[in-house]
A and B are shown apart, each in its own frame.
Chain A
Amino acid sequence: MSFLLILEQTLNGLQFGVMLFLIAAGLTLVLGIMNLVNLAHGSLYMVGAFVCAWVSVETDSFLLGLAAALPATALVASVVELLVVRRLYSRDHLDQVLATFGLILFFNEATKMIWGARPLRLDPPDFLSGTVELLPGAPYPAFRLAVILVGLAVALGLFLLVTRTRLGMLIRAGASNREMVSALGVDIDRLYTVVFALGAALTALAGAMAGPIYSVEIGMGESVLIPVFVVIVIGGIGSIRGAFVAALLVGLTFVWGRAFLPGLFGLVLEPSTASTLGSAISAMAIYILMAAVLIWRPRGLFPPHG
């Protein structure tokens, strides 16, 4: 187990973590402020990836695709918020789960009608398609490195937005005490739409950046939603800071578990048992992490006050 391998796996964990953070940020705000369980959040991730892939192929430019994906997804999200989601805020969680599950089916079928059932192609831009030699003998995919940097930059920007601006103040207030915010005369409907669209744009960014690494296909947002829910539960619902810390924790646990557990078990067990046991435990690792955090802090790491 060389130092280089540990470094590379740590970068992999960070990259997966920032991706989770971009998706989780919107979801945790929507759940924390509007008290809405939005299962269709993953569908917005899919919309972002599809728009980016489509525009990239048409214009031959990944950056244009990325630039188109964010506003397009925010627009789709605003329409969905106005037409469907708005009616769900006052309903109980079961109704919300049912309705947003319906939205998943709607988005999957609509995507198929527009772009067909076959997965789409999305390549990284040429200047990020190779590898970067971080240290001698440790090539690392340039695109993944870019994802880490963009993710960290967006996290910083979001942190400033939430702590330093009027909108951020309203968002924090909304997460802590919704009734008080509306009682103070804030246009809560507009705030909700803005937060929903902002969350969608962040998710679209994650989807567009995931496209060149993963596959742009129907249903791609559903599998990613499970670790994202784990992230927001660990971080504390409604907390951006919590989502960031939890996303990195989950990302690192996810990658380190798969990378190192089989080897660790191999020290005491025979290889085939170690491999099977290692991959089984690493599949459970993020849930074990979540259970441990919840025993220690039942409301997550950084619950908003209120």
Chain B
Amino acid sequence: MKLRMTALAAATLAALPFAAGAPAQAADPVKIGMITTLSGGGSGLGIDIRDGFLLAVEEGGGQLGGVPVEVLVEDDARKPDVATEIANRMVERDEVDIMTGIVWSNLAIAVVPKVTREGVFYISPNAGPSLLAGRGCHENYFNVAWQNDNLHEAMGQYVQDQGFETAYILAPNYPAGQDALAGFKRYYKGEIVGEVYTQLGQTDYAAELAALRDADPDAVFFFLPGGMGISFIKQYDQAGLNGEIPLFGPAFSFDQGILGAVGDAALGVVNSSQWNKDIDNAANKNFVEGFRKAYGRLPSLYASQGYDAAKLIASALAKTGGVGDRDAFRAALEAADFESTRGAFRFNSNHHPIQTIYVREVVKEGEVLTNRIVGTAFEEHGDAYAEECSM
């Protein structure tokens, strides 16, 4: 017993200098926890976000903004319970300072409120559900991609501007799908001749396409992320509708990671995006070249978002030197003082982007399908939920 007490005392004494000494953050790297989807369906998106983020870290030689960082990457397999468990571990055991990486809105809603309450900064490289932009906003939550509705709003504006009188719209029956159609209708004022909610994960759209042809609209707008979109576009083409009724959608179904699988069925389709590889600025050129060199493939929208998330963190760390002073770091993030791959970028009052949304067209460059910017839907576009956010 006595021996044990002595040992305990010695251990306590030995630990003291560290506990009482100067803050050790100068030597400790800033810990960044990345939870993203690396296995199973939809893993292409998470892999691109990770690769984009790590490219920025590599460019800095393991540092962001001159501060050494340690990035812990974990796979959520697209499951909210797995993501929550990893988040708990990262916050409590690994004591991360910053988190990022989540692709899907339902996972973000499960993880973000909890970790931001614990004082961790969360930088979203993709998911931007309306809940986190409006009433559920938080001072430690930043979204560097978009609010979920933005690209759909842009498509609504474009279809309206092009003078299409009737539209047929579809999306999966889940929160992001309902947000998508609401976003489209916020700016499209023509007649909606069909509003269809499909099942999440549905791959066969024969029934919907037959009904669509029967309704004979002037334009079709759809939001079907991932494999659902690939199936839809192929079937749209096989049904002979391509070229008959123009198809519009957000960038997600026409992104670099997906176009290769869709093939020529996507040629000529107009879609909305805040980024494209031909946006002319130094940061973007450097990113597209660096990504291609490092990974041997063209970057996607998601890769650009992961890269920008890292660059945003770098800009704040360069100013503050660490995350020790939370208020200073937060103010530095709010300033968004970095060269975004998409050009002009600043944060709204709810920490979501105010940015330009472009209109792209799917084209063929040699043998490779990719996008080309053909117009602008919005300049300096914010989101509809900023007013509901009080922080």
Binding site for B on A (CB under 8 A): 2, 5, 8-9, 12, 15-16, 105, 108-109, 112, 117-121, 123-124, 129-131, 139, 141-144, 210, 212-220, 222-224, 254-256, 258-259, 272, 275-276, 279-280, 283
Asked whether any CB of chain A lies closer than 8 Å to the CB of B43, the reply is yes
Across the two chains, which residue of chain A brings its CB closest to B230?
A215
Q: How far is the CA of A215 from the CA of B234 in the complex (A)?
A: 9
A8-B210, A9-B210, A131-B240 given; A215·B263 CB < 8 A: no
**For A212, what are the chain B residues with a Cβ–Cβ distance below 8 Å?**
234, 238
Asked whether any CB of chain A lies closer than 8 Å to the CB of B281, the reply is no
Q: How far is the CA of A279 from the CA of B235 in the complex (A)?
A: 20
A139-B240, A217-B227, A217-B261 given; A258·B41 CB < 8 A: no
Q: How far is the CA of A141 from the CA of B258 in the complex (A)?
A: 23
Q: How far is the CA of A130 from the CA of B40 in the complex (A)?
A: 32
Binding site for A on B (CB under 8 A): 39-44, 47, 173, 195-199, 201, 203-204, 206-208, 210-211, 214, 226-228, 230-231, 234-235, 238-240, 257-258, 260-264
A16-B206, A121-B261, A217-B227 given; A141·B239 CB < 8 A: yes
**For B260, what are the chain A residues with a Cβ–Cβ distance below 8 Å?**
118-121
A–B pairs, 19, beta carbons within 8 Å:
A5-B210, A5-B214, A9-B207, A16-B206, A117-B44, A119-B258, A119-B260, A121-B261, A121-B263, A123-B264, A143-B238, A213-B204, A220-B41, A254-B204, A255-B204, A272-B195, A276-B197, A279-B173, A280-B173
Interface pair A131/B239, CB less than 8 Å apart: yes
Interface pair A275/B196, CB less than 8 Å apart: yes
**For A215, what are the chain B residues with a Cβ–Cβ distance below 8 Å?**
203, 226-228, 230-231, 234, 261
User: Main secondary structure on chain A at its contact with chain B?
Assistant: helix
The one of A8, A216, A256, A279 in contact with B196, judged by C-beta atoms closer than 8 angstroms, is A279
Interface pair B240/A217, CB less than 8 Å apart: no
A9-B207, A213-B231, A214-B230 given; A139·B239 CB < 8 A: yes
**For B227, what are the chain A residues with a Cβ–Cβ distance below 8 Å?**
119, 214-215, 217, 219-220
**For A105, what are the chain B residues with a Cβ–Cβ distance below 8 Å?**
39
**For A222, what are the chain B residues with a Cβ–Cβ distance below 8 Å?**
41
A118-B44, A214-B231, A218-B43 given; A131·B238 CB < 8 A: yes
The one of A16, A117, A259 in contact with B210, judged by C-beta atoms closer than 8 angstroms, is A259
Across the two chains, which residue of chain A brings its CB closest to B261?
A119
Q: How far is the CA of A177 from the CA of B42 in the complex (A)?
A: 43
Interface pair A213/B41, CB less than 8 Å apart: no
Q: How far is the CA of A230 from the CA of B257 in the complex (A)?
A: 33
Across the two chains, which residue of chain A brings its CB closest to B300?
A118
A220-B227, A223-B201, A276-B197 given; A117·B43 CB < 8 A: yes
Q: How far is the CA of A61 from the CA of B254 in the complex (A)?
A: 25
Interface pair B214/A218, CB less than 8 Å apart: no
**For A258, what are the chain B residues with a Cβ–Cβ distance below 8 Å?**
198, 207-208
A124-B238, A213-B234 given; A255·B207 CB < 8 A: yes
Q: How far is the CA of A105 from the CA of B82 in the complex (A)?
A: 15
A255-B207, A279-B196 given; A117·B47 CB < 8 A: yes
Q: How far is the CA of A2 from the CA of B208 in the complex (A)?
A: 15
The one of A112, A118, A129, A219 in contact with B261, judged by C-beta atoms closer than 8 angstroms, is A118
Q: How far is the CA of A220 from the CA of B41 in the complex (A)?
A: 7
Interface pair A214/B207, CB less than 8 Å apart: no
Q: How far is the CA of A131 from the CA of B209 in the complex (A)?
A: 14
Interface pair A219/B40, CB less than 8 Å apart: yes
Interface pair B206/A144, CB less than 8 Å apart: yes
Q: How far is the CA of A224 from the CA of B203 in the complex (A)?
A: 9
Across the two chains, which residue of chain B brings its CB closest to A8?
B210
A108-B39, A131-B239, A217-B230 given; A279·B207 CB < 8 A: no
**For A123, what are the chain B residues with a Cβ–Cβ distance below 8 Å?**
263-264
